[in-house]
Amino acid sequence: MSLRSMMPRLTAMLLALSLAGCGLNSVPTAEENAKARWADVQNEYQRRADLIPNLVATVKGYAAQEKEVLTQVTEARAKATSITVKPDDLDDPAKLKQFGDAQGGLSQALGRLLMVTENYPDLKSNQNFLALQSQLEGTENRIAVARRDYIETVRAYNTELRTIPGRWIAAIMYPNSKPMETFAATAGSDRPPAVKF
């Protein structure tokens, strides 16, 4: 085999390698990373939602007179689990805000529930309650980490769409790619929940 007959193959291989290294896939890669991080966020919120019925049942056994707070938690959980944001909707600020508001409402209801439990020393020492409270605290931490990771991957994706050569590549190869939304603090989240005894 002569060098002349191998030239077309070598040229094709060099062209393929140069295209692979030029960032042609950076936009869809960044988009898929952001969608994967969003799945992590939803997974952690679902974990929290799954813990709530057990927590409510445990508190109900000790603090049945706190029916209003228990009802608020149950209703907030139902609302939070009824709102979903699909990966294709991550560029819609209204849907992300609706999701965040529902999750924020659940966080506030849980905060009120945990504050009410301070009135019940027997409940606070119950092993089942302590285990559930610990799992809930751990889940809240996992939610914070998942949200942080999502925000960072969205930042990388949005930066790729706005900087060169990603901007050019997206315009030519991926014209439907749009910047994604991140989380914004829920209104009133800077204040602790008000609890009436």
Asked if residue 135 is part of any domain, the answer here is: yes
Cβ atoms of residues 23 and 166 within 8 Å: yes
Kindly provide the b/e burial profile for residues 30-42, where b requires at least 16 CB atoms within 10 angstroms of the residue's own CB. bbebbbebbebbb
Domain harbouring 76, CATH code: 1.20.1440.20
For residue 12, what pLDDT is reported?
65
Instruction: Specify if 60 maps to a domain.
Output: yes
Distance of alpha carbon 185 from alpha carbon 74, whole angstroms:
23
Query: Is the distance from CB of 159 to CB of 180 less than 8 angstroms?
Result: no
| 164 found inside a domain | yes
Give residue 52's domain range.
Answer: 25-173
Q: Is residue 88 part of a domain?
A: yes
- Position 124 scores a pLDDT of 83
- Asked, for residue 115, whether it belongs to a domain, the answer is yes
How many domains, the chain? 1
pLDDT tens for the chain, 197 residues long, are 676 777 777 676 666 555 555 678 899 999 999 999 999 999 999 999 999 999 999 998 888 788 899 999 999 999 999 999 999 999 999 999 999 999 999 999 999 998 888 888 888 888 989 999 999 999 999 999 999 999 999 999 999 999 998 999 999 999 999 999 988 766 665 555 444 43
With respect to residue 182, please indicate whether it lies within any of the assigned structural domains.
no
Determine the angle formed by the axes of helices 127-162 and 93-116, rounding to 10 degrees: 160
> What pLDDT score does 196 carry?
43
Reported pTM: 0.80
Is 6 contained in some domain? no
Residue labelled with tokens 């990771």: 149
The per-residue pLDDT for 116 is 87
Q: Does residue 81 sit within a domain?
A: yes
Token couple for 35: 């969608």
